[in-house]
Amino acid sequence: MLAQSGVSIGHLIVGAIDTFSERTAFVMDGRRLTYRQFGDIVYRFCRALLALGLKRGDALAIVTSNSPEVFAVRCACAILGMTYTPLNARATAESHAAILSDADVSIIVTDASCVATAERARALCDRKPRMVTLTGAEAENLIALSERQSGAFFAPAANESDTDLVVYTGGTTGRAKGVMHSHKGSVWASFMNVELGECPGASSPAFLTPQSFRPPIASADHAQGWHGASAAWL
């Protein structure tokens, strides 16, 4: 019934951070974060994005390698009510540019591994989105900006009818098309994944690198940490 009561993905995220604060939330390459530690990153990102002038309803795209910070950006967008669009790190700059324009993206987040492609894609756009990076010095560093922000609780701004994310199809038969997901739909998907058993057991970490749930070649834009992280929201 929660999925029908105005609950957004942002509400599920902050609820999980509060409820499971000292449990392991994220494991990757020997790095372990509790829900509390991960929440601190998420809330700092919320304030960093606001400091950049972004607001509810704005669109963010991301093209990076996988890291806890990538998922934290996704969570920050859900809490702020921003629309999140993941880009395939293996796609071309031309493909990225078409998506950036179609989704009316205000800011693109990248890292040192993908910044060259992101810069080329941005250059191809008529309305050029702002660009920030998680690693490297090629653009303003979002992590550095976030570290100057408070990690205190941030109340979710989205409602169930807001667009949560826009995922683009593979484009194998033509230009990629955006599939819009509302917060209500994303909440329902999380509940369905739990019901179908597509989540770790109660004693297992709830956040893992997205590649843990797809073949090793899967990029974060496909895996999203979404199916396996459903337990984190609940």
- Write the CB contacts of 219 (distance below 8 Å, at least 6 apart in sequence): 66, 88, 89, 90, 210
Q: When comparing pLDDT for 99 and 193, which is higher?
A: 99
- What six digits make up the tokens of 161? 């009818």
- What six digits make up the tokens of 86? 């993941």
pLDDT, tens only, 22-77: 999 988 888 999 999 999 999 999 999 999 999 999 999 999 999 999 999 999 99
pLDDT, tens only, 139-148: 899 999 999 9
Q: Report the candidate in 201, 223, 224 with the shortest Cα–Cα distance to residue 24.
A: 201
CATH of the domain at 131: 3.40.50.12780
DSSP 113: T
Range of the domain at 141: 2-233
Extract long-range pairs of 141-150: CB within 8 Å, 24+ residues apart. 142/45, 142/48, 142/73, 142/109, 143/69, 145/48, 145/51, 145/52, 146/41, 146/44, 146/45, 146/47, 146/48, 147/44, 148/48, 149/43, 149/44, 149/47, 149/48, 149/51, 150/43, 150/44, 150/47
pTM of the model: 0.83
pLDDT at 200: 55
The CA radius of gyration of the chain, in Å to the nearest whole number, is 16
pLDDT at 26: 87
pLDDT at 137: 80
Q: When comparing pLDDT for 218 and 92, which is higher?
A: 92
Mean pLDDT of all residues belonging to the chain:
84
Are the C-beta atoms of residues 87 and 134 closer than 8 Å to each other?
Answer: no
Count the domains in the chain: 1
**Distance in angstroms (rounded) separating the CA atoms of residues 40 and 18:** 11
**Distance in angstroms (rounded) separating the CA atoms of residues 76 and 98:** 24
Q: When comparing pLDDT for 138 and 233, which is higher?
A: 138
pLDDT at 215: 34
User: Which 3 state secondary structure label does DSSP give 207?
Assistant: strand
